[in-house]
Structure 1
Amino acid sequence: MFNVETIRKDFPILKRQVNGKSLVYFDNAATSQTPQQVIDVIVDYYTNYNANIHRGVHTLSQEATDLYEQARLKIQKHFNAKASHEIIMTSGTTHGINLVASGFTALLNEGDEIIVSALEHHSNIVPWQMLCERTGAILKIIPMNDEGELLMSSYTDILSEKTKLVFVNHISNALGTINPIKVIIEKAHAVGAAVLIDGAQACPHVRPDVQALDVDFYVASAHKMCGPTGVGMLYGKEEWLKKLPPYQGGGEMIAEVTFQNTTYADLPHKFEAGTPNICGGIAFGAAIDYMNAIGFDKIAAYEHELLDYATTELLKIEGLKIYGTAKEKTSVISFNLDGIHPYDVGTLLDKMGIAVRTGHHCAQPIMDYFKIPGTIRASFAFYNTKEEIDALVSATKKAQLMLS
């Protein structure tokens, strides 16, 4: 049974007061909250196991290494990677994207083409622009429509034998659109292109199967999945990871170093230079355990219920417009009130204890498409309630009245 009130007890921050009001946290697309079960793992690590990994013969180092590598195995199983060495531990989604972009500098030629979508976060635009500057490759864009959906016929038109890479987010952080990544991957592979999927916004809501998707690279962040900040993962097919050169040089990623020559370690350590976020990696595994114990099917069903309820209730407010009305969508609502700047609304909502995100959400091309400065974004997680949505609706009406 899915019992939201029981689940909420796992999250100590939800008991907080903000500006004298009970906290309503609707900024989950920026970062999710952390349950006590994961907090306990973090405390336990620093209390009992804190040591550097992979290098020490002493007990603490060996125990910390075992915990860290067990977390990698949990991540492998969760995403259904073929092998644990296909999981590269990173500082987050942005790190994973930049690692791949850096590696492809050696693999692209002038005139090659790479494709991104109009729905991308800046972290899945800027690294590819930089890659084009380094290599002379050409960046092409899959356009979107007014509903916030990608125009797949246009995608087919811009694919060619010159296409070497395709980069698309699984779910839009700004609009909540769920992209048809299976089709995108299949079409890219048909012309011989590799595909990277930005899964940062998808992983809190669904459980991606990288083998079933046949994706070449998939990136995610722990802090979107009830884990800590500063840690994430890059999945890469073994054959691709072997082709890419190391992203950084240093300790851990080497096999042998002399002043004449250096040889690199095998996967995954080839891409894991320096001391990693050991505690973060272990806590990432604990967060995956926590969410799987609840069940992603249950999470998705409940969050869809919240999305439907919030959409219906918010649209009852005169002058409110929702941006992003795709048929396939997750629990994100971006909206504006006629004649009122989103920042002003967000500020007043905060005074009433409601945390939302305002601005362009690191997706400025989407806002440019709609010719708006930004939106008010309410993003829901499985620990939110309909009563909290009622509070959002009431507070939005008050803000509208005060700012009109």
Structure 2
Amino acid sequence: MLEHTPLADPYPAYARLREAGGAHHVRFRSGLYGWVVTRYGDARAALADPRLSKDPRNAPPDWQAAGRGRPLEDRSGLGTHLLTMDPPEHTRVRRLMSGFFTPRRLEAMRPRVRALAHALIDRRPAGLIADFAAPLQLAALCDVLGIPPADRGDFGRWTDAVVSSQGDPAARPEALEHLTAYVTALLATKPPAPAPAPEPAADPAADPAADPADDVVSALVGAAGEQGRLTEAELLSAVFLLLVAGYETTVGLIGLAVHTLLRDPAPGLPGGPPAEGTSREERDRVLDVALEELLRHDSPVELSTWRFATEPVEIGGTRFETGQPVLVAIAAANRDPARFPGPDMPDLGREDNAHLSFGHGPHYCLGAGLARVVGREALGALTRLRGLALAVPPDELRWRASLTLRGPLELPVTYDGIAPIGP
């Protein structure tokens, strides 16, 4: 059923499912199967319910067999990561990583992200995915991971081949081998960084000052004491999770946001007229509010990763028996009219916007703050492209064919000129 949802516009199909009932049983060609939750209240409850495990070892044997070899569903190899862990294992690993995603550290990254976004605009991008969104997010991830500048060319090519939907499938095994070898060597040579403050910080002003020498990999290598060291498999899996979960999702966020804005232009946003007579603070506020609505209206995460009932669970009138797999349809929940008035039209000034695009509960996306920084700076830089428009008819765009993620594979654009960077 969900595999036949139109890639460019799955929302009418999700609306029919939501109206017909809160949860529906689905089976995919891969052999995976389970329940999909579609209504906002039920989705929020499912995302936070500790009885719905993230560990695929709690799934039925036939489901586990169907999921083998899929990195986000398989606990072997690179699948031992935050998306397949429950507390206390999940709590331990997340705490080790979370100190490098605090508000103060992310704000310290913003000037570099902003400068890079504007530098990419100055190169006159013809396609906003390959020429803008992808290199911008890859550079941000390299900063977070501590990839040395001299290595970023090879690292970027390998990462793109492994995690990008536009990559050549035949090139992925060799690229994965190179990337695994590189990350393994990087882990062996990283000096331990000072242990970061645990998440969450009660006061952002009290977060540790960002140190340019600090990075997530150094922190993970040096983690010790009562939190416990990570195993080699956990270290590799943590790095690959940041690449897989952080790269395509933020690239999709930018692509979907611009796709929406080019259909419904608004002042001060890409594709719309300039916001005249406004301060930098006012423009940033417009971008922040609009970004949240763009995330709600067209989320790059269409479906959550899997959960598994560890005991009978009833949500929204549907009973999930022990072992049954459960998906949350983020795309359906974010357009539930019971929660969001006029959900199918973007309201770029919407203030009450508790969307679920970054999840909810203990598995709330660790990289949400980084995605917001990159997304906002991307939109701000794109406002310099005057007369921005799609270079092809909308129905000629190609879309990512993925169960979990969605977004355009490319956004070819035209524009009349490039405005200078404003104050």
Q: Identify, as 1 or 2, the structure richer in strand.
A: 1
TM-score (norm 1): 0.31
Q: Could you say which structure has the greater relative contact order, defined with CA pairs below 8 angstroms and 6 or more residues apart?
A: 2
TM-score (norm 2): 0.30
